[in-house]
Amino acid sequence: MFHSVDVLSGRILYSKEAQAWPDFERQLAALRRAQQAFAARPVIERAALLHDLADKLAQARSRLAEMVCEEVGRCLRECEAELDKSVALIRYYARLAPQLLAHKTIATQASLSQVRFEPIGVVLAVMPWNYPVWQVLRFAVPALCAGNACLVKPAPSVARVTAALFELVGEHLPFQAAWLDHDDTLRAIEHTDAMAFTGSTATGRRLAAHAGQHLKKSVLELGGSNAFIVMPDADLAAAAKEACYSRFRDAGQSCNAAKRIIVAEAVADEFMPLFLAECAKLQMGNPMDAATTLAPLHREDLRLRVHAQVQDALAHGAKALCGGELPEGSGWFYPATVLDKVTPACRVYHEEVFGPVAVLLRARDEAHAVELANDNPFGLGASIYSADAAQAWHYAEQLQTGAVFINRHTSSDLRLPFGGVKASGYGRELSEFGLYEFVNVKSYWQK
């Protein structure tokens, strides 16, 4: 069952039954036919259809942002930013795809040799709830540019906004929702040509293993526990402000947020009051209200999971400098929580905390800060704050992550590849590298 719930009232907003497997088989057969016709069109025509989708999405911005706000719980301005970035994504790829997908002639002893980028076929995406428009389009738009068809199995709790998104897509693109239950999702991997997944590492392992068993290409964007490193020479006030923003935006429910604040011991006592002062400015409340800066969590079970991680840390000697208690009242709120004196005995040292909890770690020096950053299963992104750019780059090269930001919090940029290493997954989205993930890089040789 797919259903959307208002995060404040608990009211069911939308419900939809999972489709039966024979219905999916018919949908897939029709989509394969549509994909062949779509792939035969020049890339400039495919791009024009995507430009049309961007226009429709821009017109529906306010309505969809409010839906995301109600269903996910993020602040309305954060949801509006998601829609704006999604429109920019479509226009970015629609503009560059003809250039990036152009045939590349390579000099060999042949009279003509080329590399061409051809579609794989039908790509299945299993998508999360936290960014229900952006995540879907981040996967689908480059795959569509290349001539693929895309099927999206949405998270059950964002069904309403998913349905609204695909109403905008219409019938001109081979891009549809697949309302599959969990067991049929595994069968669907077998019957499609490739898979993209964004979500937890545990689920990613299961889906990737199944895809691998059936030799299906997969791209995984999994969890993250990004290190936010504050070196002794950093601008501490700026770092404190950015650390607070990165950790607590979207109620802390972002894989790419700063989650482990690693501070050099020499400046820790000066940095922490600055950081706590920024945290104290956060206001919990209705995410539709412009004054709210800390939104509720998406579901009660997610809030209880975060609280269990905090309780475990306190039981193992950590200290809550703020927050750490379940608030009363409606809505699945959790206060901004900062944990100091965290050790490897605490779950939060190793696990991703998908909520508004910051973990503080003290480093003896710069080398120890890098060591602490790497002492984690995840490898999505990291930030380094330092006045010495050359030294920051030196330490950035030692970080086991898919991205490093210097004097800025981690984020994604349409022009740069996004993805991780270790338990954060493999493959890349965004930029030209994301475009090439779901293509057959095919060589041609003519005597």
Which 3 state secondary structure label does DSSP give 336?
coil
- What are the tokens at 90? 């479509």
CB 334 within 8 A of CB 356: yes
Which 3 state secondary structure label does DSSP give 63?
helix
Residues 71, 78, 82, 221: which is the catalytic one? 221
Which 3 state secondary structure label does DSSP give 84?
helix
Q: Amino acid identity of 347? A: R
- 322 assigned to active site: no
Sheet strands (E) in 161-299: 175-177, 194-198, 217-221, 226-230, 258-264
Q: Amino acid identity of 159? A: A
Classify strands 175-177 and 194-198 as parallel, antiparallel or unpaired.
unpaired
Residues 255, 278, 279, 429: which is the catalytic one? 255
Bridge-partner residues for 339, per DSSP? 320, 359
- 221 assigned to active site: yes
Structure letter (DSSP) for residue 157: G
- Residue 177, H or E segment: strand 175-177
**Rg for the chain (alpha carbons), in Å?**
23
| Closest C-alpha among 31, 83, 25 to residue 54 | 83
Q: Amino acid identity of 440? A: N
CB 4 within 8 A of CB 159: yes
CB 259 within 8 A of CB 353: yes
Positions annotated as catalytic residues are 221, 255
